[in-house]
């Protein structure tokens, strides 16, 4: 399991990222934090990376600016290149802020980038 700790800043709020008009943690930021935790949980060689395939996030509670959030990610299955994670996020008071299921695919970094038009690995 990998654990990240983040503190909600003014630029992490729904108002700041355009996902609402309240000064609480925005769902897009929370989702990015959950994905960041899954990336950190993978121990990949330099020539590999992972890309997001599917994200299902249940944003369960609001978090004000200044609140510390702990995000835990652990692998629940691995089938070839496909890796599935269960992720939880809890605030400093022990309130469950989110739970998520995230799927990622492990890819060869250069081969992945070479398939994109106009991108040189």
Q: Which residues are catalytic?
A: 27, 35, 59
Paired tokens of 110: 């250069």
Find out whether 104 is annotated in a ligand binding site: yes
Q: Which contiguous run of DSSP H or E holds residue 57?
A: strand 48-59
Token duo for residue 93: 């008071």
* DSSP secondary structure letter of residue 115: T
Tell whether 54 is in a known binding site.
no
Evaluated on CA atoms 72, 76, 78, 82, the torsion sign reads negative
C-alpha–C-alpha distance, residues 103 and 27, integer Å: 18
CA distance to 20, 26, 44, 58, per residue, from 23 (Å): 9, 8, 36, 19
Residue positions in the annotated binding site for substrate?
Answer: 52, 104
Residue positions in the annotated binding site for CoA?
Answer: 52
């Amino acid at each position: 399991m990998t654990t990240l700790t983040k503190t909600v800043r003014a630029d992490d709020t729904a108002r700041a990222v355009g996902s609402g008009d309240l000064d609480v943690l925005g769902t897009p930021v929370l989702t990015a934090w959950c994905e960041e935790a899954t990336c950190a949980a993978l121990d990949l060689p330099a020539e590999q990376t992972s890309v997001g395939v599917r994200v299902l996030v249940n944003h369960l509670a609001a978090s004000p600016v200044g609140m510390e959030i702990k995000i835990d990610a652990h692998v629940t299955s691995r089938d070839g290149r496909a890796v599935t994670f269960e992720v939880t996020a809890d605030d400093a008071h022990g309130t469950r802020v989110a739970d998520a299921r995230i799927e990622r695919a492990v890819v060869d970094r250069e081969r992945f980038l070479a398939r994109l038009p106009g991108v040189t690995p």
